[in-house]
């Protein structure tokens, strides 16, 4: 239990120092256009990867389960210009309904 605490706190410290590193870079780095281009591009890529990971990944396996229904329902909601909160609720509802219907 003590060991788990140490790793929890170490991971928290690493996360905070990583966040802080973004602000400690020399200011002149920030004004370069390619830095902006790369970070905007990386953000789109990271969010896409998080969508894919949350939808299809279970550990190191790719699985098709109720989360796919959530993705489809959320995409329809976004396409219909639903507010963010509605999109999230629709995603949760779709996954819950898919499981009621027998999906994994």
Partner 1 sequence: MGLSIAAAVGLYGISFGALAVTAGLSVAQACALSLLMFTGGSQFAFIGVVSGGGSLPAAFAASSLLGVRNAVYGVQISALLRPRRRLRPVIAHFTIDESTATALAQDDRAEQRRGFWTAGLGVYALWNLFTLVGALAGEHLGDPKAWGLDGAAVAAFLGLLWPRLRARDPIVIAVAAAFATIVTVPFVPPGIPIVIAAAVSGTIAVLHHRRPDVREAR
CB of 23 to partner 1, least distance (A): 4
CB of 14 to partner 1, least distance (A): 4
CB of 75 to partner 1, least distance (A): 7
- Listed in sequence order, the residues at least 6 apart from 73 whose beta carbon sits closer than 8 Å to its beta carbon are 90, 91, 93, 94
CB of 4 to partner 1, least distance (A): 7
- Listed in sequence order, the residues at least 6 apart from 57 whose beta carbon sits closer than 8 Å to its beta carbon are 63
| Residue 96 Cα distances to 24, 55, 92, angstroms | 43, 14, 6
Q: Within a 10 A sphere around the Cβ of 70, how many other Cβ atoms?
A: 22
């Amino acid at each position: 239990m003590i060991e788990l605490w140490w790793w929890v706190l170490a991971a928290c410290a690493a996360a905070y120092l990583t966040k802080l590193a973004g602000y400690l870079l020399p200011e002149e780095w920030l004004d370069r256009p390619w830095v902006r281009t790369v970070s905007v591009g990386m953000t789109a890529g990271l969010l896409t990867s998080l969508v894919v990971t949350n939808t299809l990944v279970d550990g190191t396996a790719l699985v098709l389960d109720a989360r796919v229904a959530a993705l489809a329902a959320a995409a329809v909601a976004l396409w219909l210009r639903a507010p963010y909160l509605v999109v999230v609720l629709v995603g949760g509802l779709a996954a819950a309904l898919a499981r009621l219907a027998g999906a994994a």
